[in-house]
Amino acid sequence: MRRWSRRAFVAALLKAGGLVGAVRPSSASDTPLRFGVTPVILDDDVGFLKRWSEWLAGKLDRRVVLVQRTRYQEIVDLLLRGQLHLAWICGYPYVQHQGQLELIAVPLWHGRPLYRSEFIVPVESEAQAPEDLAGRLFAWTDPDSNSGWLYPRFRLDASGFDPDRFFRRSIFTWGHARSLQAVANGLVDGAAVDSYVRETLMLHLPPLAKAVRVIERSPLFGFPPIVAGPALDPAGRRRMQSALFGQATDTEGRALLANLNLDGFSTAGPEVYADIAAMAEHLGRSRRS
Amino acid sequence: MTRMLASYRVRLPLALSVTAVSTAVLLALALGLQTLHNLREDQGRNAQRLGHAMAALLVGALRQDNVWLAYSLLRGPDGADGNLIWVLADENGRIFASNRPRTYRLDQLLEQALPGLEAVRSARNDAVQAFEVEGRPEIRRLVHLALESEGARVGDLFALLSDRPFLQRFYEILLGGVLVTGGVLAFLLPIGWIWGRRIVAPLVQLADCMARVGRDDLRTLDCPVATGDDEIGQLGRCFTAMLGALSEKAQLEHRILQSERLAAVGRVAAGVAHEINNPLGGMVMAIDTYRGGGPADARTTRLLDLLDRGLHQIQETVSALLVEARADSRALTPADFEDVQTLTEPRPTRCGAPLTWRVDFEAQTSLPATPVRQLLLNLVLNALKAAGDGGTASVDISATDGRLGIDVENTGRPLPPERLDRLFEPFPSRRRDGEGLGLWVCYQIVSQLRGSIDVDAQGALTRVRVRIPLQPDDDDA
């Protein structure tokens, strides 16, 4: 199977609607586990998501349904309303709703539960720093993203700019991969993206990743976590944790992790998201309470 | 080069090739232009259809300020390499999205990016219309679609159409035409060459024949020319007919010359005979008178006898030259032919030549018997002599169309052509046998009877053909 052909990838990118992968395990005893996925990972590889949900279903002995939505907020809303048991979301919505959400696992990337936000410009751009993008076109990822919204705004604010007026015009792409595309295709002059998504995408689509240039990297932040909502009982949370923590020791699980470009899942605590929480507080932008 | 081009061997394949090439090129051009036209129409229709299909979503994107949605829609499945250039403008006339985001920037004023579009925008014409952009010569046409929501204009969608995607196919068609032409040429040139040769071959043959006319003897000219049903065959037949006519004319001229010469010889002979006869008569009479005068001595008598014999020999020769076909003899009857047959009967056995007679003569005639008998006798004896040992001879007497026909044939030694020409002249120089006056006499008789005599020699066969009118005018001697 040619999994990451350009056409397939682009076609998948354009699919903005909710994607539902339903899996029927060998012994379907109770209600399926509903797992929300956001563009903090490359959520366009339907084949991978299906294999991962099958693997999870086998470990949990429970049907697993992966749920996708266009925006982070929709997933977070579903999670908070109990319509999802689990979700892989960004650290920013997690800190916003820390009281209702429980941290299940934090992915390990390059051996650490950390990632960065990166300012990117087209490779031919003359911009050397985010300040050079003043009065230009800019792409935000999602208003609930840390690396594609919260941090870049914090960065501009810290330099004394009003993030809402700094650019001539800005757009939302609703995904890091799309922000990369918007920059690579010249739709915008710059964007801020998740370093993990950018590097992983570079593995799959070298030409796209090569069309952009990183002009500034943020400090390290806590990696987008997998969190549980009120709908998942403690037993289910423990089973989920053991499945995820054991994934790196399982042959098929390792293959799936390799596909995700991750090393495994860790038990890192909420403290790795302290910086994000601080930035959110600073900007006073906790819009969703 | 001009000479070479003048040859049909070159001109025909050349003409075929030129026809083939021009046909192929024109066909390819026509096909190409038609294809170009069709492709342009399809492109326009496709743009309109696509625009309408995207309209609802684009309206939504405009109202929600969702640039990415509009962009990904316009970019479509072809990415940035699509043939159509889409430009979406918002209600303020600023570019909202395009599948060429580098050229048509987000938020750029439409009029600034594409001068002239404002006019198109207000004209609200959704047909394919001509449109040109300075510095973008490939853009030829555009389709405009006004985007409305509940009757209110929320934006405008433009599709800029270019010929660039078709030119490749246009050139491919042209190239195909050229290749086909090449193939056809490779096939046609040898065929044309062979065809040209086949057409030209009979013409060349004809030309060769024509060149021989005037150089060679027409009567012996053996010229095979084409006689097919086509125009060249017609030409060949006409040429053959012309050759026949020319040959006939030459033969006629030859005969006239011959008879004129013979007539002149006859006149000279008659004149000479007349001039000789008068003194000859006197001399013979003088000898007679001398003898009547008394006996002479033996020596004189011997001399007179010698003179007398010599003078009589001269008289015989001269009278033989002076052939007189007098009308005062009795008329010819079939019995005369039997007489001649009887007279010549012993001859064949002696010479060894079988002689066959065929007499078919029932007509009434006023022809004098004596000269005709002499004529026939001379001819038969001549034929028998010519036939020699091992030859054959035949005589055919007939009366048709009011004319007596005598055909005498013999086989034997072939008659050389130069002899044939002077056959009827008296004392032919090379003739060693006979007195040499037989055919001369025949000719004189036939001429005086207003008839014709021809000799025809074909190899070993020699034929003498005599035609004499059965009722000659009596007043002509």
Whether residue B290 sits in one domain with residue B355: no
Give the burial string for A62-82 (b: 16+ CB within 10 Å, else e): bbbbbbbbbbbbbbbbbbbee
Choose the final residue of a domain: A199, A218, A237: A218
pLDDT tier at B430, thresholds 50, 70, 90: low
SS3 sequence of A42-66? CCCCHHHHHHHHHHHHHHHCCCEEE
> Residue B62 is part of a domain; what is its CATH number?
3.30.450.20
Neighbours of B458 (CB within 10 A): 9
The answer to whether A2 contacts chain B (CB < 8 Å) is: no
B96 has a chain A CB within 8 A of its CB: no
- Bridge partners for A122 per DSSP: A212
Q: Please tell me if residue A11 touches chain B, with a CB cutoff of 8 Å.
A: yes
Last residue of a domain, one of A218, A239, A268: A218
**Residue B19 belongs to a domain:** yes
Separation of alpha carbons A229 and B309, rounded Å: 176
Q: Is the pLDDT of residue B349 over 80?
A: no
Higher pLDDT, A225 or B210: A225
Residue that wins the pLDDT comparison between B424 and B92 = B92
Same structural domain, B30 and B147:
yes
Domain count of the fold of chain B: 3
B69 and chain A in contact, CB less than 8 A: yes
Residue B199 lies in a domain: no
User: What pLDDT does residue A272 have?
Assistant: 93
Range from A189-203, B84-98, B257-271, B399-413 carrying the lowest mean pLDDT: B257-271
Instruction: Looking at the structure, tell me whether residues A78 and A38 fall in a common domain.
Output: yes
Q: What is the pLDDT of residue A14?
A: 41
Same domain, A181 and A266: no
Of A137, A168, A171, the CB nearest to B68: A171
Cα separation, B449 vs B437, in Å, equals 18
Question: Across residues B405-434, what is the average pLDDT?
Answer: 73
- Among B146, B168, B190, give the residue marking a domain's end: B168
Give yes or no: residues A166 and A78 share one domain: no
**Residue B124 sits in the same domain as residue B251:** no
Q: Does residue A255 belong to the interface with chain B, where contact is any CB pair within 8 Å?
A: no
CATH, residue B340: 3.30.565.10
Disruptive mutation site among B103, B105, B109 for chain A (greatest number of A CBs within 10 Å): B105
A244 is a domain residue:
yes
pLDDT score of B347: 63
Residues B14 and B159 in one domain: yes
- The reply to whether B288 and B405 lie within a common domain is no
Judgement on whether residues A127 and A213 belong to the same structural domain of the protein: yes
| CA-based nearest distance A185→chain B, Å | 7
Strand partners, B156: B89, B146
- Residue B184 belongs to some domain of the structure: no
Where b means 16+ CB within 10 Å and e means fewer, B182-214 reads eebbeebeeebbebbeeebebeebbeebeeeee
Q: Are residues B283 and B371 in the same domain?
A: no
What would you report as the CA-atom Rg of chain A, rounded to the nearest whole angstrom? 18
Q: Provide the 3-class DSSP secondary structure of residue B290.
A: helix
pLDDT at B178 over 60: yes
d(CA B411, CA B99): 110
Which two three-digit tokens encode residue B67?
């640039």
Chain B contact present for A174, CB below 8 A: yes
Which residues contact residue B291 at a Cβ distance below 8 angstroms, ignoring those fewer than 6 apart? Answer: B304
B315 and B337 both lie in a single domain: no
Within 8 A by CB and 6+ apart from B80, the residues are A185, B99, B100
**Do B72 and A13 make contact, defined as CB atoms within 8 angstroms?**
yes
Cβ of residue B3 closer than 8 Å to a chain A Cβ: no
A242 within a domain of the structure (yes/no): yes
- B15 at interface of A, judged by CB pairs closer than 8 A: no
Position B26 scores a pLDDT of 85
Do residues A147 and A184 both lie within one domain? yes
Find chain B residues with C-beta within 8 A of A182's C-beta. 68, 71
> Does residue A97 lie within any of the structural domains?
yes
pLDDT at B63 over 80: yes
Q: Is the pLDDT of residue B462 over 60?
A: yes
Q: What is the DSSP letter of A115?
A: E
My answer on whether A19 and A152 are in the same domain is: no
Question: Of B168, B187, B220, which one is at a domain's C-terminal end?
Answer: B168
**Does residue B71 form part of some domain?**
yes
Q: Are residues A97 and A228 in the same domain?
A: yes
Query: Which of A11, A13, A185 faces B101 most closely, judged by CB atoms?
Result: A185
| Shared-domain flag, residues B310 and B333 | no
CB contact, 8 Å: A8 with chain B?
no
B261 and B394 together in one domain: no
Q: Is A288 inside a domain boundary?
A: no
Q: Are residues A212 and A233 in the same domain?
A: no
Distance from B104 to chain A by nearest Cα, in Å? Answer: 9
Alpha-carbon distance A229 to A33, whole Å?
12
3-state secondary structure at position A88: strand
A238/A204 same-domain check: no
Domains of chain A: total: 2
Any domain includes A289:
no
Out of A137, A172, A182, the one facing B107 most closely (by C-beta) is A137
Closest approach of B145 to chain A, Cα-based (Å): 22
pLDDT at B301 over 50: yes
Q: Which residue in A195, A12, A2 sits closest to A110, CA to CA?
A: A195
Would you place residue B79 in the very low, low, confident or very high pLDDT band (cuts 50, 70, 90)? low
CATH number at residue A24: 3.40.190.10
- End-of-domain residue from the set A198, A218, A238: A218
Residues of B in contact with A188 (CB under 8 A): 106
A17, closest residue in chain B (CA to CA):
B69
pLDDT of B473: 63
Q: Does A41 reside within a domain?
A: yes
pLDDT in tens, B211-264: 888 787 776 777 777 777 888 888 888 888 888 888 888 888 888 888 788 788
Does the distance separating the beta carbons of A186 and B102 come in below 8 Å?
yes
Same domain, A124 and A207: yes
Contact check, Cβ <8 Å, B79/A168: no
For residues B299 and B361, membership in a common domain is answered with no
Chain B residues 197-216 within an 8 A CB cutoff of chain A: none
Range of the domain at B257: 231-319
Smallest Cβ–Cβ distance between B67 and the set A7, A16, A171 belongs to: A171
Measured from the Cβ of residue B390, the count of other Cβ atoms closer than 10 Å reads: 9
Determine, yes or no, domain membership for B179. Answer: no
Question: Does residue B333 sit in the same domain as residue B248?
Answer: no
Q: Which chain B residue has its CA at the smallest distance from A9's CA?
A: B77
Give the range of the structural domain holding residue A81, as residue numbers without chain letter.
6-108+224-283
Residue A48 lies in a domain: yes
Q: Are residues A102 and A136 in the same domain?
A: no
Q: Which residues in chain B have their CB less than 8 angstroms from residue A169's CB?
A: 106-107
pLDDT of B327: 57
Spans of chain A, pLDDT less than 70: 1-30, 285-289
Mutant choice from A6, A164, A176, A187 vs B, greatest count of B C-beta within 10 A: A187
Count CB pairs under 8 A between chains A and B.
40
Question: Do B68 and A172 make contact, defined as CB atoms within 8 angstroms?
Answer: yes
The beta-carbon neighbor of B80 closest among A14, A182, A185 is A185
| A228 contact partners, CB below 8 Å, separation of at least 6 | A85, A86, A101, A102, A104, A236, A237, A240
Pick from B77, B79, B101: CB nearest A187:
B101
Per-residue pLDDT, B445: 86
Residues A212 and A231 in one domain: no
- What secondary structure letter does DSSP report for B215? T
Q: Do A187 and B79 touch (CB under 8 A)?
A: no
| pLDDT > 70 fraction of chain B, expressed in percent and rounded | 91
